[in-house]
C-alpha cells in the first residue's frame, strides 16, 4: 500500500501502548523472565501497517528478546500477540516466516560455506523439491525452481550482490552479509520485515545503501520494525518510534518527539537533565545527544571488529 494512502498517525496518542489505525501486529501482556529477572514486560503495543517503526532503548532494555518472542525464536512466560489477525503465540519460527513475518539478526546468519546464490535459494519456503518422492520426478518441481531462481537473481541485482552470486558467503564483508540477509528475507515475499540492528558492524560506505534498501521496503508496501542504536538513522527513516526501558514500553511518538522526551532521556542516561549546571546545559537534551556522548556509539563509531583510526 503506497504511503500516501495509509491512515495518518497524526492523531495517535503519544503514550505507551497507543492504539493505531490498522495495526499489522498487536501484542498483549508479553512477559519473559530469566530466573528472577523480568527481561520483557510489554503490556500492549501495536505496530502500524505499511510504516517504518523503530524500536529503541538502552542496552538491556529487552528489544532483541522481544524480537525473539514475536518471531518464534523464544517462548514467553505470559502473553499473546497477533499478526494480520492470526495468533502467533507458540508458532515455530519457520511457520511465522511462512505467514509473512521475517527477521534478520544482529549477528548475520549466512551459511559461510555455501555460495551467495545457495543462501538465497534456502530462503524460499514451500519448495516442492524438498519432498522425497517429488524430488525423484523433476517435472513436478523444475518449473518452481526456475521461478525461485529468477526471484533470487532479481533480489541479488536489487541489492547489488549479483556479481557475488557464485562466491562463498563467508567471503563477503560485514555490510554485504547484512545485504544478503535482507535480500534472503525477501524471498518469501513478506508483509513485515524485522531488522535487528541493521547498521551494526557496517562500513560507513555501505550505510546509505542499506538505508535506501530499508526505505524501499516501505515503498513496496511492506511494514518494517527495526532495532537500532544509531539515532541519526532512526530520525532519517522512521515514521514512528517505540521506546523500551527495563523490558517495558515507556514512550511512543515521532522520532523528534521521542528523542526530546524526558522519560526517554532518563532511560538512556539513568538520571534527569535539569539544565542547571551551566548556560550550555539550558539547551534541551535529546536522545541523539546522549547516544553521541557514549563511547562506541553515534556516527563516528567504528564497525564491530574494527579499530577507529
Active site residues: 197
Query: 8 near 67, Cβ under 8 Å?
Result: no
- Angle, alpha carbons 61-42-240 (nearest 5°): 75
Cell of 250: 515507556
Residue partners of 270: CB distance under 8 A and separation at least 6: none
Helix (H) or strand (E) holding 30: strand 23-34
Residues 69, 32: Cα–Cα separation, whole Å: 8
Cell of 174: 560485514
- Label the pairing between strands 101-103 and 52-56: unpaired
Residues 256, 4: Cα–Cα separation, whole Å: 21
Residues 91, 77: Cα–Cα separation, whole Å: 14
Helix (H) or strand (E) holding 208: helix 204-219
Percent helix, strand, coil in the chain, to 5, is 40, 20, 40
Query: Positive or negative CA dihedral for 156, 219, 232, 24?
Result: negative
Amino acid at each position: 500500500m503506497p504511503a500516501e494512502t495509509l491512515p495518518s498517525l497524526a492523531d495517535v496518542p503519544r503514550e505507551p501502548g497507543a492504539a493505531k489505525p490498522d495495526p499489522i501486529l498487536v501484542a498483549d501482556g508479553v512477559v519473559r523472565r530469566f530466573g528472577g529477572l523480568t527481561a520483557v514486560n510489554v503490556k500492549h503495543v501495536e505496530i502500524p501497517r505499511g510504516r517504518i517503526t523503530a524500536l529503541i532503548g538502552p542496552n538491556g532494555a529487552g528489544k532483541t528478546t522481544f524480537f525473539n518472542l514475536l518471531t518464534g525464536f523464544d517462548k514467553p512466560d505470559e502473553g499473546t500477540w497477533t499478526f494480520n489477525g492470526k495468533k502467533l503465540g507458540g508458532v515455530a519460527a519457520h511457520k511465522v516466516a511462512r505467514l509473512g513475518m521475517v527477521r534478520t539478526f544482529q549477528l548475520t546468519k549466512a551459511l559461510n560455506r555455501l555460495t551467495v546464490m545457495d543462501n538465497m535459494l534456502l530462503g524460499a519456503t514451500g519448495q516442492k523439491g524438498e519432498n522425497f518422492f517429488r524430488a525423484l520426478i523433476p517435472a513436478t518441481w523444475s518449473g518452481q525452481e526456475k521461478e525461485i531462481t529468477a526471484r533470487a537473481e532479481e533480489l541479488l541485482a536489487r541489492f547489488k550482490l549479483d556479481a557475488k552470486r557464485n562466491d562463498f558467503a563467508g567471503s563477503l564483508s560485514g555490510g554485504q552479509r547484512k545485504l544478503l540477509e535482507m535480500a534472503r528475507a525477501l524471498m518469501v515475499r513478506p508483509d513485515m520485515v524485522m531488522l535487528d540492528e541493521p547498521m551494526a558492524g557496517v562500513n560507513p560506505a555501505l550505510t546509505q545503501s542499506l538505508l535506501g534498501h530499508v526505505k524501499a521496503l516501505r515503498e513496496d508496501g511492506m511494514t518494517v520494525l527495526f532495532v537500532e542504536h544509531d539515532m541519526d538513522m532512526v530520525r532519517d527513516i522512521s515514521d514512528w518510534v517505540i521506546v523500551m526501558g527495563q523490558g517495558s514500553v515507556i514512550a511512543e511518538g515521532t522520532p523528534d518527539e521521542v528523542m526530546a522526551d524526558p522519560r526517554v532521556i532518563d532511560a538512556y542516561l539513568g538520571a534527569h537533565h535539569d539544565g542547571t549546571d551551566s548556560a550550555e546545559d539550558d539547551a534541551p537534551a535529546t536522545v541523539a545527544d546522549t547516544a553521541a556522548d557514549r563511547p562506541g556509539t553515534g556516527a563516528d563509531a567504528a564497525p564491530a571488529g574494527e579499530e577507529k583510526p
